[in-house]
Amino acid sequence: MPNFYQDADIPFLLCETGVWIEIPGAPRMKGIVDYASKEYLQTLQIAGIRGTAITAVVQTSALPSPLANKTPLIVDGQPMILRDAQQEGDGAITVLLCERPPP
Amino acid sequence: MRSLRAQIVDAAIALLNTSPPAGIPFAERIRFEPYGPEDLPAINVMPVREESEKKTGRWGPLLTRGFTLRVECRVSGSPADVILDPLLVWAGQSLGGQDFGLLAEDCYETLCEWSYAGSDQNYSMASLDFRINFSTLSNDPTRNSLLTP
């Protein structure tokens, strides 16, 4: 009988490559962060704005509930604001979409 | 010799870049490269369309042209429409009613569209079209009168 990863295994999977994420109302947790460049607001296929999609993959059960959009976060030491939280697959992990606070 | 259209674009960009108020960026001409967040706010100016009509008949010398010049304003931050507004005001004040040194007959705003994108910051754009009416000789887009050499 195969062994499937369970919810309790997720912190172990995230601890190697994850960075610390701090969310008010929850213990500090590890998450895998991606910074992916993307071009927005192009017209006539030129001169868009090069933004960065900032995502953090975390364990859903480690998140406070409810987790409201616009919650301030600390991601790898950087202040961020939660744009949205979207569960993936069976819901065991959640992708946090982050934005930088205004300068 | 450059077309009147190209001279009008030159003149429009020169007007936009003449003593812009604080916080208003200098306008660029048909920028292709993406803007980074550090480049914002930004103004990009580009010709997008022109319709022509010969109102003087088969043997008449003039071609009447309706030229659309687009002024694109991009910013970051919130509230987006409030941040974009001074750029749109500046474009309207700079170009509205202009004859560009007798190159054109009129210039006025015809369409403004706003677009938004949420990412690592809130990015927004307003695309403001100006209609510029001008005429050239039907056989020479560099001249608008039989009298000019």
**CATH for the stretch A7-99:** 2.40.10
pLDDT in tens, A6-61: 888 888 778 888 999 999 999 999 999 999 999 999 988 898 999 999 999 999 99
Q: Is any Cβ of chain B less than 8 angstroms from the Cβ of A51?
A: yes
* Sequence ranges of the domains in chain A: 7-99
CA torsion sign, A64 to A66 to A72 to A75? positive
pLDDT in tens, B32-81: 999 999 999 999 999 999 999 998 887 888 999 999 999 999 999 999 99
CB-CB under 8 Å, A49 with B72: no
pLDDT level of residue A71 (50, 70, 90 thresholds) = very high
Mean pLDDT of chain B: 94
Of residues B110 and B55, more confidently modeled: B110
ipTM confidence score? 0.85
Q: Is any Cβ of chain B less than 8 angstroms from the Cβ of A100?
A: yes
Q: Is any Cβ of chain B less than 8 angstroms from the Cβ of A38?
A: yes
Residue in A closest to B78 by C-alpha: A102
